[in-house]
């Protein structure tokens, strides 16, 4: 009965997605409980913050910097053609603040730090270190997951701000090289990009950071098998985190746009 | 009262999928019995060895004792309390009275040897000076004095195992579980570890459960021996009683023959 077969494999997929979301939610709730109880190791959190910062900052600056430049390049060619060079700074600034900086930074952190979390925790699982933690009466969530989640939530907005600045610089350089004056770019940026846009983009980085760290930790902690299992956990952590970031981005942006429109009247 | 008691414990693992598309997915999953209605007692202040060929579920037995796994049915009693229904927090109370020496040490590789050995005490928020003293004393006891600042990756296999013993013993546990403490070690080192286990029982009165397939070491140190085969306990008693057993499986294991009822897969 091939039809039944197909149906059951779809059911299985839906079931797996629901189980995965359930596991992430459980991990999130456990993490929040530990944080609320103050059971946080500041030393480990700071160490994780350093790991994420050192690992991701330069990559984020380069990727967002060039994304800003290429965006400005296309836009300035078009808008100069239609005689609207005064809009370029605003369009580039808004795109960077609302979308490019938060999303690309999240992807960079997922690829660089989410994967590292999955790989490290996965290796700890296969070498029985996670069992050793539990045998020493220590919760793996408290000891391993809480510092990583907190560090991501603190670092992702910071990296996004710096990457955003790098993007603006890239955009500025690309625009001025294509016939837009420096003053035009700056004035346009200042009059069309609002503080609200910057905040809007930054608010999105918090759920992104939660997703990246929780998925990285969950994939690491559910590793089975040996070195191959660690490889699978690492790859799936990056893939799932990227998918989750893009899906969340769309729905969150819809809500945030709605909210900001209502506030601006 | 026995320190550890199993009552009708059953545990199985998923074994695979039958290749028959016509039957529904759930019914095609097969399971492999690891423990089938197993009952036994571990006397207090004894060295109880569990022997058996590789892959019979000896390690699973230890994990069930530490609450790292839950059985499908039956009771696991530690000091008279059934831990099967315990929540993680209650299990941690039980685990604080327990030491677990993992097969490959399972030292945390991001921490120094000293931090590893003092981990349990540090988690109990004991003062740093006390932790330092205990760590030094335990390391000296296992013949590794002065290596507190080394990283686990700098140690040899035998040193790692002894450091892991020091870590398991740092909190003065009442019950110590050893997973293959002498496998992969040279005969001299194996004898050193054997002596450590015996000394510990004599000095501190701990209850020791040793999982091993090293026959000479089992017969030398144990007060009580059990043999696990085919998900059942096939022999139990003092080393002398087990050595005198007429059971074909036990005889094949004791005599180390390739032919017999034990099939190697």
CA distance B255 to chain A (A): 32
Contacts of A127 in chain B (CB under 8 A): 104, 106, 109
The pair of three-digit structure tokens given for residue A217, joined into one six-digit string: 């930790």
Q: Does residue A179 come out as left (phi exceeding 0), alpha (psi in the -120 to 50 range) or beta?
A: left
| Local structure of B74: helix, strand or coil | strand
A261 to chain B, any CB pair closer than 8 A? The answer is: no
Tell me: pLDDT of B248 over 50: yes
User: pLDDT per residue over B170-202, tens digit each?
Assistant: 999 999 999 998 887 888 888 888 998 999 899
| Residues in Cβ contact with A235 at an 8 Å cutoff, skipping those fewer than 6 apart | A115
In chain B, the DSSP E strands lie at: 4-17, 29-42, 47-51, 73-78, 81-82, 98-101, 175-179, 207-212, 224-229, 232-237
**Chain Cα centroid distance, residue A217:** 14
Contacts of B63 in chain A (CB under 8 A): 131
Asked if A8 lies within 8 A of B109 by C-beta distance, the reply is no
Contacts of B96 in chain A (CB under 8 A): 137
Cα B5 from Cα A159, distance rounded (Å): 54
Q: Are A208 and A242 in contact (CB under 8 A)?
A: no
Contacts of B21 in chain A (CB under 8 A): 1, 5
B22 to chain A, any CB pair closer than 8 A? The answer is: yes
Element (H, E) at A222: none
Nearest by CB: B66 against A124, A127, A135: A135
| Local structure of A2: helix, strand or coil | helix
B95 to chain A, any CB pair closer than 8 A? The answer is: yes
CA distance A34 to chain B (A): 13
Cα B226 from Cα B239, distance rounded (Å): 9
More confident residue, B152 or B262: B152
Confidence band of B265 (pLDDT split at 50, 70, 90): low
Paired with B33 in beta bridges are: B12
Nearest by CB: A1 against B22, B92, B98: B22
Tell which A residues from 87 to 146 touch B, by Cβ distance under 8 Å. 124, 127-129, 131-139
Asked if B100 lies within 8 A of A135 by C-beta distance, the reply is yes
Mean of per-residue pLDDT scores for chain B: 89
Cα B121 from Cα B200, distance rounded (Å): 19
Confidence band of B1 (pLDDT split at 50, 70, 90): confident
Tell me: pLDDT of B259 over 90: no
What phi, psi does A23 have (nearest 5°)? -65, -40
pTM for the full model? 0.89
Asked if B95 lies within 8 A of A137 by C-beta distance, the reply is yes
Please report the pLDDT score of residue B215 as a whole number.
87
Burial of B27 (0-12, 13-18, 19+ CB in 10 A): exposed
User: pLDDT per residue over B50-61, tens digit each?
Assistant: 998 888 889 999
Interior/surface letters B138-158, b for 16+ CB within 10 angstroms, e for the rest? bbebbebeebbeebbeebeeb
Nearest by CB: A5 against B21, B96, B119: B21
Write down how long chain A is. 265
Contacts of A135 in chain B (CB under 8 A): 66, 68, 95, 98-100, 102
B108 to chain A, any CB pair closer than 8 A? The answer is: yes
Asked if B109 lies within 8 A of A129 by C-beta distance, the reply is yes
Cα A11 from Cα A5, distance rounded (Å): 10
User: pLDDT per residue over B210-241, tens digit each?
Assistant: 998 888 889 889 999 999 988 899 889 999 99
Please report the pLDDT score of residue A1 as a whole number.
46
User: pLDDT per residue over A36-92, tens digit each?
Assistant: 998 898 999 999 999 999 889 999 999 999 999 999 999 998 998 898 888 999 999
B119 to chain A, any CB pair closer than 8 A? The answer is: yes
| Assembly ipTM | 0.89
| Residues in Cβ contact with A126 at an 8 Å cutoff, skipping those fewer than 6 apart | A223, A225, A226, A227, A229, A230
Alpha helices in A37-145 (DSSP H): 42-81, 88-95, 101-109, 115-126, 129-135, 140
CA distance B116 to chain A (A): 10
The pair of three-digit structure tokens given for residue B28, joined into one six-digit string: 């095609």
Interior/surface letters A13-50, b for 16+ CB within 10 angstroms, e for the rest? eeeeeeebeeebeebbebbeebeeeeebeeebbeebbe
């Amino acid at each position: 009965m091939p039809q039944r077969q197909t149906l059951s494999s779809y059911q299985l997929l839906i079931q797996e997605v629901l189980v995965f979301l359930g596991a992430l939610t459980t991990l999130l709730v456990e993490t929040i409980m530990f944080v609320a109880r103050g059971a946080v190791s500041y030393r480990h959190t700071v160490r994780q913050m350093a790991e994420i910062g050192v690992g991701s900052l330069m990559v984020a600056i380069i990727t967002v910097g060039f994304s800003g430049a290429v965006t400005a390049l296309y836009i300035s060619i078009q808008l100069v053609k239609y005689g609207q060079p005064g809009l370029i700074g605003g369009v580039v600034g808004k795109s960077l603040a609302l979308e490019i900086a938060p999303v690309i930074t999240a992807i960079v952190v997922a690829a660089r730090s989410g994967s590292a979390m999955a790989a490290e925790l996965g290796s700890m699982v296969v070498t029985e270190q996670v069992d050793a933690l539990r045998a020493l009466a220590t919760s793996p969530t408290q000891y391993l997951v809480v510092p990583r989640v907190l560090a991501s939530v603190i670092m992702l907005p910071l990296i996004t701000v710096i990457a955003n600045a790098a993007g603006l610089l890239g955009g500025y350089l690309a625009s001025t090289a294509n016939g837009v004056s420096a003053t035009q770019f700056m004035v346009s940026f200042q009059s069309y990009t609002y503080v609200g846009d910057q905040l809007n983009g930054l608010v999105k980085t918090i759920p992104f950071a939660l997703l990246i760290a929780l998925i990285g930790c969950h994939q690491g902690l559910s590793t089975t098998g040996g070195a191959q299992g660690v490889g699978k956990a690492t790859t799936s952590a990056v893939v799932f985190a990227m998918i989750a970031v893009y899906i969340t981005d769309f729905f969150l942006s819809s809500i945030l746009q709605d909210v900001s429109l209502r506030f601006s009247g | 009262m026995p320190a550890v008691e199993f009552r009708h414990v059953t545990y199985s693992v998923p074994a695979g999928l039958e290749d028959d598309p016509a039957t529904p997915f759930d019914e095609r999953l097969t399971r492999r019995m690891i423990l089938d209605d197993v009952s036994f007692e571990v006397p207090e202040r004894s060295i109880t060895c569990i022997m058996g060929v590789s892959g019979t579920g000896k390690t699973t037995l230890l994990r069930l004792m530490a609450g790292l796994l839950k059985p499908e049915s039956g009771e696991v009693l530690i000091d008279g309390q059934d831990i099967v229904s315990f929540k993680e927090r209650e299990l941690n109370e039980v685990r604080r009275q327990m030491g677990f020496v993992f097969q490959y040490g399972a030292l945390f590789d991001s921490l120094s040897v000293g931090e590893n050995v003092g981990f349990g005490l540090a988690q109990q928020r004991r003062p740093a000076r006390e932790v330092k003293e205990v760590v030094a004393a335990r390391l000296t006891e296992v013949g590794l004095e002065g290596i507190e600042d080394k990283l686990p990756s700098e140690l040899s296999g035998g040193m790692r195992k002894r450091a892991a013993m020091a870590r398991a013993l740092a909190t003065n546990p009442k019950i110590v579980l050893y997973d293959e403490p002498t496998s992969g070690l040279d005969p001299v080192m194996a004898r050193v570890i054997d002596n450590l286990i015996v000394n510990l029982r004599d000095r501190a009165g701990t209850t020791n459960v040793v999982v091993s397939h090293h026959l000479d070491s089992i017969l030398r140190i144990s007060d009580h021996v059990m043999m696990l085969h085919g998900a059942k306990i096939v022999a139990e008693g003092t080393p002398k009683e087990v050595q005198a057993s007429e059971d074909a499986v036990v005889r094949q294991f004791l005599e180390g023959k390739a032919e017999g009822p034990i099939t190697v897969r």
